[in-house]
Structures are given as structure tokens and as C-alpha cells.
Amino acid sequence: MERVLGIGGYFLRSADPAALGAWYRDCLGLDADVNGLWRQEGGPTVFAPFDADTDYFGSPAQQAMLNFRVRDLDAMLAQLRAKGAQVAEQTQDMAGVGRFGWVTDPEGNRIELWQPA
């Protein structure tokens, strides 16, 4: 059986693609080239379907949530707050898995940040 090798891209609609791309670059450090190519560090990726009525993603209109691995969750959340980003106050610790926090991008997409254990 052929198998997928990994995530090859993540695409989202945007009212202002240039501004949203700049937000991801300036706030999260996602340095994609002009074609959107971003060379990320190796590490674990979670693929997990959720119940259709989950409120974990924030808005019920949001059908998927992007999760980024980070080295230092507290430092990333402080950086985002300093840039005026909409950061959730709570964080979550999951034994053996790591710590989680959330930010919402300027177009209302909730993003999960994960500091692996």
C-alpha cells in the first residue's frame, strides 16, 4: 500500500492573502518564500479527526485547526501578546504530550501552539 509521506501544504482562504502571510511571518516567524515554500524542522505531527460539534477549534465555522510546534510556549505567547495578537489566556498541560496554547490570526482562524514534552 502506498502511504503519504507527510503534510505537503496547508492552504486557507483569505480576504487579504498578503497581509495574512505577513502576520504569520511577523508574529510566528513562518518564513515562507514567494511561492509559500517553508522548510520546517523535523518532528512529530498529529493527525486527529474531531467530533463535528467540537468547540476546541473556536468558531463552529472553522473546519480545521493548524497546530505549530514551538520550543518555548511561554516565550511564543509573550511574543504574540507584545505584537497585539489575540492570545487565549489559558494554557493546557497534557502529561507525556506537552503544553498547549492558542492564538487567533487576524482573519479569525484559531491556531494551536504545542511545546512537546
59 pLDDT above the threshold of 90? no
Whether 75 is in a domain gets the answer yes
Give CA–CA dist 45/25, Å, rounded. 21
Contact 102, 68 (CB under 8 A): no
48 or 5, which is more confident: 48
**Residue 48: HSE in the Cβ half-sphere, 13 Å Cα cutoff:** 11
Whether 106 is in a domain gets the answer yes
Tell me, what's the pLDDT at 97?
93
Tell me, what's the pLDDT at 4?
82
Whether 38 is in a domain gets the answer yes
Contact 66, 112 (CB under 8 A): yes
Tell me, what's the pLDDT at 8?
84
**Residues near 36 by beta carbon (within 8 Å), at least 6 away in sequence:** 9, 21
Tell me, what's the pLDDT at 6?
84
Contact 98, 115 (CB under 8 A): yes
pLDDT tens figures, 89-112: 999 999 999 999 999 999 999 999
Question: CATH code at 41?
Answer: 3.10.180.10
Range of the domain at 59: 17-116
Whether 97 is in a domain gets the answer yes
Whether 12 is in a domain gets the answer no
| % pLDDT > 70, the chain | 100
- Provide mean pLDDT across the span 57-68: 91
Tell me, what's the pLDDT at 58?
86
Q: What are phi and psi of 74, to 5 degrees?
A: -60, -45
Q: Provide the whole-model pTM.
A: 0.90
Question: Into how many domains does the chain fold?
Answer: 1
Q: What does the block give as the cell for 53?
A: 460539534
